[in-house]
Structure 1
Amino acid sequence: MPRQTIRLPLRPAGARPAKLPCMFFAQGRCRNGSSCTFSHDAAPGSTTRPDTASGPKPTDTRDAKAKVTCHFFLKGACLKGDSCPFAHPESVNPSPAVGSGGPSTDDLLVSANDGPEDKPDDWIRQLGGAVIQFGDGAAVLKASLQSDFSAVRISQLPANSTPDTISQLLGQLGFTVAVDKIRLAPSPHPSHRVADVRVEDPTFAKRFISAVDAQKEASTKDIRVIPINAPMPGGSGMHRVECKKVLCSWYRPFMTAWLNFTSSGLAQTIHEKYTSGRYKVLNQNVTSHTPKRSGSWTTVMLTEVPAEAPDDDITKSIPANMMPRNIETGTPSFKYNARVANALVKSKLMEVGPLEWWEDAVFGGKRAKAKARFQDDGDAAKAASLLNGWELPFHKKGKLTVQAIYSARFKVQERIYQAIKPIIEEHSATWQAKKVYLAAYEPARYSTLRVLKFEGEDNKAVAEAKRRLEQILEGHMATDKGKPIWSPAFTVNGDVFQKIKEIEQLLNIVIVRNKRLSRVYIFGLEDKCKEAETRLALIAQQDASTTNIIKLDAAQFAWACRGGFKSITEVLGRKARFDIVSDPKQIVVTGSEADVKLTTDLIKAQKEPSGSSSSKQSTTDDCSICWMEPENPITTDCGHSYCSDCFEQLCVSATSSSKADFILRCEGDSSKCQEAFHLEFLQERLSSQLFEEVLNASFKSYVSHRPDALRYCPTPDCGQIYRAATGTFTCPNCLTPVCTTCHATHQGMTCADYKFVSSGGDIALKQAKQRLGIKDCPKCKTAIEKTEGCDHMTCGGCGTHICWKCLKTFGTGNECYAHMNRAHGGIGIDVPDEVRW
């Protein structure tokens, strides 16, 4: 290998020989002090190791830039060390060096672009085999099914084609297609490009192929078009394993350097320093070979030296008084331009799919490492399959390594995370042994939620770790003798609640009351949870409280809003709770019979509270649900306040609502506000599990209230949905063929034939229903039985309002009552026709 000799400066001619510097002083361990015969003056350019220096450290005189963290230090690639003008905080651990075996998964979580959210949520979810777009209030804006899409693959496109030029080509044929619906695909021939086009139009593929066949222009005569299966948009969100991120690496060029010394002992010392890793080049370890004597020189040969290392950086770690007399360097193993290499690898990834971000390669060990994240789920796995082992144009013997990274994210209350942190740490070793790593990001400003994110190369290992973490996040359900521990007093924030808080502080755990399920969940170490269980069981046994619901008519509700409820709370405190979300409105009293009687008497009396009415009414400072001073307050964008527990219960109650239009609205100002909560606000205030439950409940409500358009697969526990009246639907989940007209499975038979064959059982069923007084909902066919009350019925399946006498359907209850009075002379019970809520 050709050598380039670098002569180090020698002593000028005629200069008096300087007093030799003390080697031990340079190392900070000279015992002779001022009597030492060698010089204790710092040599020009010499450095003193931080671990041996004595006395106060020099003051950092860097400017305001030092307050900004060094971008390269975060990646472990800063070449300037202490001379860098940017901050190198001790609390930040840069990426570890990676050996020649390829990129290490240990540094997956350290990235300038990567973070807890990766990108803002697009509010798209895949539920029931459909792509659901959500809007404010968690309302479903749009539901798209596989049958709504069609796609084509266009080949033989010009080599310089881009999504923009392809969009223009489609426009020439009369098709308006957005650029983000066009994706370049890997082409078998470098002289041509291939593109996939997906459109939310089931007829697009057929119409486009016909248009190309009919077109004879030069710009389109050579292209080829075939229909393909339309991939579904992936969406985003928590609690799901996705594959969007890749790690790319390739060998970097190296060279050999020879350090020549006149002293064999000094050469041996330098060799040992490089071998131990105390001396580095560009902050990387190099291989030092045993010194060899040749004539008057002893040479230390360094191999695997980064080719881009400046001449002075090769010996940067060596103190000035131990410098070699000269340095010789060989030619790099191959020519390399980092900017060109990054551009080439990035362009190859973009052929697979659009990128969300790309991070240029940094050097670690023998390889350059780059990171990228695709926009669409699954593209990372596709890139790894297509590009792993790709021969690098800039290195004939080099190949690209591409690793797909699977990830899963969670959001959890910070206080719950701190309680279960020891449990998570116990499992961390097991997860890391399978190359799965968990990062816990600090809560964002004004947020009480912490984001947890798994990353790993093995999708099965990531999915397994995800399931285990979900089990941990469920908590330990408190039981006593096999039965759930519960007391009515657990529903209010009274004396019993204070006892629960004392248990939390004593045992360093978190106790969550699920009022909807009447369950208590404990988060913490197992022995602490068992002790809390015993204490909670004792509290539940000793408490004699009962829960009583007092329903309010219109006049009573108006009185409560004017300050009546404030009068009740002045006497009972938090034993009384104002529920303005229910229909009818109600006051819930958790306490003794005397408390209930006192509340009932106050409601009957309906005395106006003393003082100005404005001082007694609920204000924006009071919780909009319980009308008390909010605990752990949450303030909405519209300026209303909630207890964190009340707000969560508001969202939980919505998941079991039967309203036709699912939308979470603010109940502030006595339920007059009704502003829909922004999805960003809901996601920031709710745990990821509850937030996804709310979206899922909204989706189920959307489907159940549209039986004429959407239906579930009839196979039990399948959960797949399909569009009604579109022909035969073969469920991709359970492969059951379903007639979308009559919603039954009768392959090879018409609907009429199937009905005729099955009429025997149908007749018997009808007879049984008539005998029992059961009727079917005219809209969704859900069986309904009337046991008492008026003739106004509400279907539990689709929420339709029904007149029991004639089975006519209505959109609202008021319309139904008007019809019954008009058509049937009454509402079906012997009471005045005036209807109160």
Structure 2
Amino acid sequence: MFDSAKIVFGPGFEVQKVVTGFESRAVILPGLPVDVNVDAIRNALEPFGEVADVQVVARAKDASKVTAKAFYTDHASAAQAAAALDGSNFFGTRLSIQLATHKSTSLGKGTVCDGDIDLEFSAPSRTGFAGYPSLSLAQQAIEAATRNAVLDCWIAAEIHNGIPKVGSVTVRFQHLPPNFQARDFEKFGKNQGVMLTKPNYMRLERALENLHDLLQRFGEMETLNVSSPPYPRGLVRAWVHFKSADAADRLCNELHGRGQRFLGGERLYVHHVRSVKYRLPREVYKALCVDIRLLRSYACSRDARSDIVVVDRNDPVIVKLVANELPVLSRLKSAYETLLRGDIVKHNGEVIWDPFFDRSFGAAYLRELQNQHPGLIIERNLRRRVISLFGPPHSRRLVKEAILAQLSRLRSLKSQSFPIEGHLISLFMSADLAKLQEELGHENVVFNLAKQTLLVRGNEDAFQVARLAIRHTKQRCSGPRKHLLDACPVCFDEATSPVTLRCSHTWCKSCLRDYLLASIDNKVFPLSCLGNEAKCAHLIPLEVAREVLTPKEFDTILTVSSTAYVHLRPSEFHYCPTPDCPQIYRSAPKDTVLQCPSCLVRICPHCHVEYHEGSVCPDRDREDRKLFEEWVKDHDVKNCPHCKAPIERAAGCNHMNCARCKTHICWVCLQTFSGSKEVYDHMHDTHGGIGL
């Protein structure tokens, strides 16, 4: 289901209310002066709407600052306040106001860190020179010095030509420990003489204390982590995280490349590092690890200060993208998230999809393919209608070929729709449908409850089998009907393990369960009773559905219902622009800014792209209309005569059923009808057949 959204369901799994993860009534105001008055906060916020409550919810580490949370009576007022006040001066503080969001439960989404600093400075050390009687002995000394760390120092040594000259062949030793003495050169071999410079400074611990005090002057520092010895190239690296990106910028501007007394006058190198941190399930990381390593090599070769750091100790695995400049990080983030989307199955550059993959048998086919290729993950995205592959390139190629072959086979088959009369609908929700699917293949026989039709895919023989099955069902039901008081509306026999609804119709427990599960493929809600030849308007109570379904089955139907609800309202709901992010949001006026509670991206809910700081909001509606009009020219698209929603006819007969308003339509003349039987009678009488 949509991560962080709150959805209220009614009888028949009907969606009654949707509150997206963006629609919070609370705004957070961090870094306020400790003596700020609650009434003063309320007065400052009330121009944007009615404020229900103001609370001081947390004290920062700095005792002179507090964080407040204000609650509006509606989301729109909170969103307007957040957009208007963000970055403004508020009680003497430059405010970074934000909407409070629900906690996200999704993995694999990036968390942006913009207050990180990468520091480099020289470790305490000294330089020495030693003379040797021959070049071979000098080279032996170099090898002995550089083979292993000496007192937590990696020593660099090379032949030295020039002053000082302390033997026949002089070797210069750099990054020696600060307490290294002349007698210690004997570890590298017998020498003719030595010379040592003064240490730059003696104690790293003391230097780190001074560094900590220096950094605190620039802003609130959350962490300071220092690399452990030995130090390559004699350089200590440290990573600092500030709460504020401004503090990190000031630090770089004032300290980068400047000598520091506590380092013996040596320079401190400061780089403002931007990063994005992701959490990946271990199995996903294992499938992507080769591609991630290749991306890291490429990124490091393009920019020395770019990196991908992987912490592979727990589940989930932490993957952190690091770069010195925001444009570089943006490119790295884009490349990495392309990996997260996987290798999308395409043919001749076009993304492939078929209704086969919408249904449970399509999912089972992909699971079987995945089981045949260990280390590979196949993701079926019903929302975006794509199949993505993750794993070794060889396995991806084989699976892609298999999927394309299956698609080719499916598209080589013809399809035909058969109308099902009202009193036969219940039979084709259970045993009769299962029998036909077993004979022709589950993927080739689909019952559409909304259209009250049976769609069969195959050759003329398959169509004849379907006709015979329908004829046999009609004959079986053409005689005198049983009028049992407790007859099940599906099997027409006395109900076994009976479940009686408030409308007085009694079902077999197994028949009711099968009917509810059929909605996963049909995607038509709400679910009503099939009594009185499928004319009963009573909706199936959720408490009854819970009794006959497993928790997993119940949750699956909730998910399908909510997805169908959102898809039928494209002008109201939109998906977060981050690829594969599960969040939805509602449209909002210009200059409104939303922050996704899953991937943290800032969104313009007017033109539905990442927020365009400082630029004019483009007219996305006009652009989208133009693109849609161009697409319509090459497709069989007409507007519903009732609700005007555009409908595409891809295959099948001329009976259409609008997914938005449920109107039955003749595609040839666009006449509307109240039921399927009327449509088919009209098509035969007026147009000479149903048309395929």
What TM-score, normalized by structure 1, do the two folds share? 0.44
Tell me the residue number matched to 1:437.
307
- Which of 315, 320, 323 is the equivalent residue of 1:456? 323
- Amino acid across the alignment from 1:641: K
1:191-340 equivalences under 5 Å are: 238-239=109-110, 242-255=113-126, 271-278=141-148, 280-287=150-157, 303-307=174-178, 318=187, 332-336=199-203, 338=205, 340=206
In 2, Cα distance between equivalents of 1:258 and 1:265: 15
The alignment partner of 2:267 has SS state of coil
The alignment partner of 1:405 has SS state of strand
In 1, Cα distance between equivalents of 2:86 and 2:334: 40
Output one character per residue of 1:324-359: Cα deviation in whole Å (capped at 9) or x when no partner.
Answer: 999998864335451x43344334444444344321
In 2, Cα distance between equivalents of 1:708 and 1:497: 44
Output one character per residue of 1:383-415: Cα deviation in whole Å (capped at 9) or x when no partner.
Answer: 433442455352352332221222234566766
Answer yes or no: is 1:369 the counterpart of 2:237.
yes
Tell me the residue number matched to 1:754.
none
- Amino acid across the alignment from 1:139: G
| Structure 1 residue 420, shift from structure 2 partner | 5.6
Structure 1 unmatched ranges of 5 or more = 1-121, 125-135, 152-162, 185-192, 210-224, 628-637, 665-682, 713-717, 723-730, 739-784, 797-812, 814-828, 832-837
Given that residues 274 and 322 in structure 2 are in contact (C-alpha distance below 8 angstroms), is that contact kept between their aligned partners in structure 1?
yes
In 2, Cα distance between equivalents of 1:207 and 1:486: 52
CA 1:433–1:523: 2 relative to 1, 3 Å:
same
Given that residues 256 and 304 in structure 1 are in contact (C-alpha distance below 8 angstroms), is that contact kept between their aligned partners in structure 2?
yes
Output one character per residue of 1:654-709: Cα deviation in whole Å (capped at 9) or x when no partner.
Answer: 65353999899xxxxxxxxxxxxxxxxxx9xxx9843x2x22xx22xx446xx799
In 2, Cα distance between equivalents of 1:372 and 1:350: 11
CA 1:167–1:416: 2 relative to 1, 3 Å:
closer
In the alignment of these two chains, the number of paired residues is 509
- Amino acid across the alignment from 1:400: L
- Which of 725, 734, 752 is the equivalent residue of 2:615? 734
Answer yes or no: is 1:658 the counterpart of 2:562.
no
In 1, Cα distance between equivalents of 2:155 and 2:552: 58
Tell me the residue number matched to 1:810.
none
- Amino acid across the alignment from 1:247: D
The alignment partner of 1:460 has SS state of helix
CA 1:242–1:228: 2 relative to 1, 3 Å:
closer
Tell me the residue number matched to 1:359.
225
1:782-801 equivalences under 5 Å are: 787-788=641-642
Q: Which structure has the larger Rg?
A: 1
1:696-707 equivalences under 5 Å are: 698-699=584-585, 702-703=586-587
In 2, Cα distance between equivalents of 1:517 and 1:327: 72
The alignment partner of 1:140 has SS state of coil
Output one character per residue of 1:74-131: Cα deviation in whole Å (capped at 9) or x when no partner.
Answer: xxxxxxxxxxxxxxxxxxxxxxxxxxxxxxxxxxxxxxxxxxxxxxxx989xxxxxxx
CA 1:455–1:541: 2 relative to 1, 3 Å:
same
CA 1:138–1:444: 2 relative to 1, 3 Å:
farther
Answer yes or no: is 1:606 the counterpart of 2:481.
no
| Structure 1 residue 787, shift from structure 2 partner | 3.4
In 1, Cα distance between equivalents of 2:183 and 2:579: 52
The alignment partner of 1:432 has SS state of helix
Structure 2 unmatched ranges of 5 or more = 6-17, 42-53, 71-80, 478-487, 498-507, 523-548, 595-601, 607-611, 620-638, 647-660, 662-672, 676-692
- Which of 551, 561, 575 is the equivalent residue of 1:640? 551
Tell me the residue number matched to 1:37.
none
Tell me the residue number matched to 1:90.
none
Tell me the residue number matched to 2:207.
341
Tell me the residue number matched to 1:388.
256
The alignment partner of 1:394 has SS state of helix
- Amino acid across the alignment from 1:734: S
Tell me the residue number matched to 2:272.
404
| Structure 1 residue 433, shift from structure 2 partner | 0.6
CA 1:269–1:660: 2 relative to 1, 3 Å:
closer
In 1, Cα distance between equivalents of 2:329 and 2:135: 53
Output one character per residue of 1:574-608: Cα deviation in whole Å (capped at 9) or x when no partner.
Answer: 938999xx998999977666569969969964346
Root-mean-square deviation (CA, aligned residues, Å) is 6.9
| Structure 1 residue 284, shift from structure 2 partner | 1.9
The alignment partner of 2:265 has SS state of coil
What TM-score, normalized by structure 2, do the two folds share? 0.51
- Amino acid across the alignment from 1:345: L
The alignment partner of 1:641 has SS state of helix
| Structure 1 residue 567, shift from structure 2 partner | 8.8
In 2, Cα distance between equivalents of 1:332 and 1:487: 72
In 2, Cα distance between equivalents of 1:369 and 1:270: 31
The alignment partner of 2:253 has SS state of helix
Given that residues 565 and 578 in structure 1 are in contact (C-alpha distance below 8 angstroms), is that contact kept between their aligned partners in structure 2?
no
1:44-123 equivalences under 5 Å are: none
- Amino acid across the alignment from 2:123: R
- Amino acid across the alignment from 1:458: E
The alignment partner of 1:359 has SS state of strand
CA 1:472–1:377: 2 relative to 1, 3 Å:
same
1:150-189 equivalences under 5 Å are: 167-170=33-36
The alignment partner of 2:263 has SS state of coil
| Structure 1 residue 246, shift from structure 2 partner | 1.7
Given that residues 198 and 230 in structure 1 are in contact (C-alpha distance below 8 angstroms), is that contact kept between their aligned partners in structure 2?
no
Answer yes or no: is 1:142 the counterpart of 2:24.
yes
Residues 398-407 or 538-547, more deviating: 538-547
In 2, Cα distance between equivalents of 1:532 and 1:204: 49
Given that residues 34 and 65 in structure 2 are in contact (C-alpha distance below 8 angstroms), is that contact kept between their aligned partners in structure 1?
no
Given that residues 255 and 329 in structure 1 are in contact (C-alpha distance below 8 angstroms), is that contact kept between their aligned partners in structure 2?
yes
- Amino acid across the alignment from 2:154: Q
The alignment partner of 1:658 has SS state of coil
CA 1:143–1:392: 2 relative to 1, 3 Å:
farther
